[in-house]
Homo-oligomer: A and B are copies of this chain.
């Protein structure tokens, strides 16, 4: 089927390729004229036959909001917008309401897989009305991995459910990454195990901890043995934060997720204010010298 795709960055471009491989027709728009098929959204819309399907793959927040708003003015009743970016689920109700006022349908779709999705397929979590999900299913089937549909795709619930599921997925991801990394640090902190990176590789088949993330860790260790040149500074994309804020709102204890998020925060501090205070306090009661 025909699709308008907005946002041709790393993720968008790879998704376009996978859709085209599956026989779909993709008209792409990007702010960068070098990669865009059309000069603007007006042209994008006019180049698609009604009823249209437009997939948004731009940064969450302001960029997505602006795109949805502009599309609301350009599209026609019966068209369908799918937000495949990493939007916060709370944005989805606004986007749907705005588009619904023009008779335009809306789905939110969490997309997982990173740069490997082009070949592996993308894990998809979708929220919205069942008839709209059904309509876009050929696209979802092209993007998701080979195999049974329910192993790479879920209609998670109403509008917002796709991004909610993706948010939780990323929160889990934080915890998984941190768990492996803590173990790696411990192995390196003693001299009992002399082939630390070899242990990680040996875990990739057969063990209880085997996973795709572990496979990637092994790649990373092979590229940079001991990870010597790697900067520990670790950004967070927002979804871990939203997960923790949801946990707090719903009184769900998530100590592992919180610890993983806090470790990222700490990785970005030159000096911990908290520990400056702890250090100063030790000086007060113990008489230690703590000045730098």
Contacts and interface: CB of A to CB of B under 8 A. Distances in A.
Interface stretch (A29-37, A50-58, A66-74, A253-261): A253-261
Interface in A189-228: 189-190, 192-195, 198-199, 201-214, 216-217, 219-221, 224, 227
Q: Chain A interface secondary structure, helix, strand, loop or mixed?
A: helix
A181 interface: yes
A287 B121 contact: no
A212 B232 CA distance: 28
A17 interface: no
A168 B183 contact: yes
A186 B252 contact: yes
Contacts of A185: 252, 254, 272-274, 277
Contacts of A258: 255, 258, 262
A42 interface: no
Contacts of A173: 208-209
B227 A276 contact: yes
B257 A120 contact: no
Given A255-B259, A290-B230, A291-B231, A278 B181 contact: yes
The 10 closest A-B pairs by CB, nearest first: A175-B179, A211-B211, A123-B207, A154-B202, A232-B275, A255-B259, A181-B277, A253-B262, A123-B206, A157-B194
Interface of A: 10, 89, 112-117, 120-125, 127, 144-147, 150-158, 160-161, 164-165, 168-190, 192-195, 198-199, 201-214, 216-217, 219-221, 224, 227, 229-236, 241, 243-269, 271-287, 290-292
